[in-house]
Amino acid sequence: MMAQKFSLKYAVFLLIVSLTISCKHQTVSIRKDLIHKLATYKSTSPSPEIALKLFLKSSGGELCMMNIVQLLSLYHKHYIKQYPNLEEFIGKTLNQEIALDTAGFPKYQLSAIFQPDEEVSANFRKHTFPEFRKQYCSPLEAKSLRVENRELTENQINTVLYYFFISNYYVVLDDYSGYYVVGIYDKRPVTHLSND
């Protein structure tokens, strides 16, 4: 009887551990309304979407950070024949389903190419998202946070931003303060930034 109780407790423990691990390794699922909004972006009208930092996989195993103008330029120059549907292309790239071949891209077309930082990645896997968020950010407004970058390398900052992005947070650079700002995407990504 005692062995059965121990066995049942052990089985429940293993189930909880496996569910926790599988939740940390979910596939990326960027919001469809954001993908649609980016696919319908027009450079002729002012739009907050131009400020969003987007994160994509490269065929070399790195991650790329760029904005929608850069992504559209790459699409029209290199991917339009392979992916005639722009919204499908944006969805597949943002959801990390395809890797871009960045070898031939001019550097000006990419904001950053980086390898995910191992320490930041381990923190993301080890902690809950609220713990991860608290470790790297300070509150700004009701729905936004400032990424604290004083002690982080550029690669670590980019990795932190990547994990926010794949968790459906918007990522923008506040040019005034020099900090990255992240927040929950709510169909109106960012209309103003902090002036601190």
The confidence score (pLDDT) of residue 1 equals: 53
Q: Does pLDDT of 166 surpass 60?
A: yes
Q: Does pLDDT of 191 surpass 60?
A: no
pLDDT in tens, 100-150: 887 766 666 667 889 999 999 999 999 999 999 999 999 887 678 999 878
Distances (CA, A) of 73 to 54, 67, 78, 142: 14, 10, 8, 34
pLDDT in tens, 150-161: 889 999 999 999
Question: Which residues on adjacent β-strands are paired with residue 147?
Answer: 137
Let me know: does 52 contact 171? Beta carbons within 8 Å: yes
Report the DSSP pairing between strands 99-100 and 137-139.
unpaired
The confidence score (pLDDT) of residue 25 equals: 47
Q: Note the pTM of the prediction, 2 decimals.
A: 0.79
Q: Does pLDDT of 93 surpass 70?
A: yes
Q: Is the dihedral of CA 100, 103, 108, 113 positive or negative?
A: positive
The sheet with strand 169-174 has its strands ordered as 137-139, 144-147, 179-184, 169-174
Collapsing DSSP to helix, strand or coil, 142 comes out as coil
pLDDT in tens, 7-47: 444 433 333 333 333 344 458 899 899 999 999 998 877 77
Structure-model confidence comparison of residues 36 and 185, the more confident one: 36
